[in-house]
Structure 1
Amino acid sequence: MKKNGFFRGFKIFGGNLIAIALLGLVIIGSLLLGIGTYFLGFAGFFYIFNVEYDSLYYLLLFLIFFFILSYFTKLIAKLSLIIFGPYLKTKKRFIGMKFILITIALWLAIFIIDEMMVEITVPIWTEILGALLLSIADTAFKGKMKKIVIIKKK
């Protein structure tokens, strides 16, 4: 019986194991590309605004702590939005309050990490601008993802 499948061409080289390993490498490569882009984006942003840091290791440590802490601060912001959401009468006020709360949450994460790490010195206006840019990107990409999901459901 002849099998017609995706992995049939890999039987010569040792079976499905090679296909799965190659697929894993592609997934790991794409994850590393995304993380590297985010890292270099932060490094470029810090370079433009003359943020002083001792080495790239401390910048990577800053980003790791930022990911962890921003998750919790954004969670608190979303919970407070759930609490105050019914009091906001229009959709514009709700979106504006969401944007403000996410910006404050991201700024708080950057501020706390900046104060904890003495190896990195970020001026206050750079912290605010970074939080503002991140919240704009967060809002823009969240809207696109919801549109994609809605289109796929139809």
Structure 2
Amino acid sequence: MSNDNSSFRDMNFKDKVLAVTTILFLIVFSISFVLGIAYFGFAGIFSLLGVNYNSFYSLLIFVASYYLVGIITDIFSKAIVRVSSQFISGKWNLLFARMMIDCTVTWLLIFTIDEIMHSITIPFPIEILLAVLLFIIGVALEDKKD
């Protein structure tokens, strides 16, 4: 009887450690790469928009806070969009409603983090522009099957 796990059982301890270490390294590298792109993306956008922050560490805290709290707020905004889409007809009307909901939730998130953190200063018009820009980037990068 052949088992798919028999090749892993036949490996010696050194080979198993090497395999597990390699897989963990690839996972950590992948996550770090994505987080690095997000960090430097925010750094670039903030540089272009003239946002002031005290250090790269404060920017890192802002980006981490944005994504951690954003996961929760994104769930609520998607639920609101899904419910409201039942009452809105037309592709453009739905897109506009989705834009208003997503941009409002994103702006509230950016505003809240900006107010809590004293090491970063984002002017009000830049907060709005940033929320709209993040919505456009999100729409451009999302899966088109919906």
- TM category (shorter chain) comes to 0.7 to 0.9
Aligned to 1:130: 130
Q: Does 1:52 align with 2:52?
A: yes
- Contact kept? 2:52, 2:120, Cα under 8 Å: yes
Aligned length: 142
- Higher RCO structure (Cα 8 Å, ≥6 apart): 2
- Contact kept? 1:107, 1:127, Cα under 8 Å: yes
Q: List per-residue Cα deviations over 1:55-97 (Å, max 9, x = no partner).
A: 1111111112111222233233223223322221223322221
CA distance in 2, matches of 1:88, 1:127: 28
Aligned to 1:104: 104
CA distance in 2, matches of 1:66, 1:108: 11
Aligned to 2:69: 69
Q: Does 1:37 align with 2:34?
A: no
5+ long unaligned stretches in structure 1:
148-154
Amino acid at match of 1:60: L
What is the aligned-residue RMSD (CA, Å)? 2.6
- Contact kept? 2:38, 2:63, Cα under 8 Å: no
Shift of 1:12: 8.2
CA distance in 1, matches of 2:65, 2:14: 42
CA distance in 1, matches of 2:12, 2:77: 55
Q: What is the TM-score when the length of structure 1 is the normalising length?
A: 0.78
Aligned to 1:87: 87
Secondary structure in structure 2 of the residue aligned to 1:127: helix
What percentage of residue pairs aligned between the two structures are identical? 29
CA distance in 1, matches of 2:19, 2:73: 41
Amino acid at match of 1:119: S
Q: What is the TM-score when the length of structure 2 is the normalising length?
A: 0.82
Secondary structure in structure 1 of the residue aligned to 2:50: coil
CA distance in 2, matches of 1:141, 1:49: 22
5+ long unaligned stretches in structure 2:
none
